[in-house]
Amino acid sequence: MAFSYIAAICTLLCCVRSKILSVGQVPHILPHEVIGRVTSTSFVLSQPLCYFNHQTELPCTVNTCEIWSVIASGPGVHNFDRDKVRVASGILSASPYMDAFLGQGQKMYFITKLGVPRNFPCGDLPGIRYFKVGADGNCSTTNCNGILPAGSTVRVKYILIDPVTKKVVSESKWSFPIILLTSRASSSIDESMWKRSGAMVVITVILSCSLAVLALLLAIVLLLDCVGSGRGRHNIITDAASFRAQSYSTSGTYALRP
């Protein structure tokens, strides 16, 4: 009987020690209009400023605790919430980035590191502070910040890890679903638009050719007119055998003689 009481007390103490604290903040997309805020494989979040800076009962401090982010798609949300308790100290390697989104049976989440709470203080800070999820296009390690499946829908939460036990000691709420951009397949493009564009090209070419022909004809007419005028002037001068033009010394004037 006494053994049962002791076992129950030990279990209760373990549960108390492993309790994960929570904060009310919700990660969200950066509100500022910046280039690449949401793409097909990445997005930009506001940093976890002041998320974990005033929590008590933590086994670590603002200088030693570690802030990580969890990026999950579909069942990845449930999988992480289960794994953070089930695998506890192994949570950081429970779902390596390289395998996270390979397909059926995978965890569908990965975890990447941001820093310590001291680097994400409270108060108004100058500039735009953000964290880009999916920034590493050559990701090949367990906790790298790799690109996301194109066009996927993901959710994010920030967590606090005790660097000694490697367990989750505090966490934010999950973000609302974030929908990445989808590249349109060539088969989905409206063919009628291509047909209309082709017709416009043909019309443009015909008009351009017509204008070129008209310009050429106009040039020929002008040339013939100039030639005819020149011949007329030559005949008049030649026929006037007694014509004489006086020569002047003024620069730019010339004497015209038969």
The CA distance from 214 to 216, in Å, is 5
Q: Return the ∠ at Cα 150 (arms to 144 and 155), rounded to 5°.
A: 65
**C-alpha distances out from residue 81 to 30, 94, 140, 228, Å:** 25, 12, 24, 96
What is the C-alpha separation between 39 and 228, in angstroms, rounded?
69
Band of residue 243 on the pLDDT scale cut at 50, 70, 90: very low
- Concatenating the DSSP letter of every residue in 141-152 gives STT--BPPPTT-
Q: 139-172, pLDDT tens digit by residue?
A: 899 999 999 999 999 999 999 999 999 999 999 9
- Closest to 45 in 3D by CA, of 70, 79, 75: 70
Assess whether pLDDT exceeds 90 at residue 79. Answer: yes
Name which residue leads in pLDDT, 227 or 96: 96
pLDDT digits (tens, 9 = 90+) for 187-215: 555 555 555 566 777 788 888 888 888 88
Q: Quote the pLDDT of residue 95.
A: 96
pLDDT(120) > 90: yes
**Pairing of β 168-171 and β 21-22:** parallel
Alpha-carbon span 237 to 230, nearest angstrom: 11
**Average per-residue pLDDT in the chain?**
81
pTM of model > 0.75: no
CA angle 25, 83, 158 (to 5 degrees): 20
Q: Which amino acid is at 235?
A: N
Distance linking the first and last C-alpha atoms of the chain: 144
For 43-68, what is each residue's pLDDT tens digit? Answer: 999 999 999 999 989 999 999 999 99
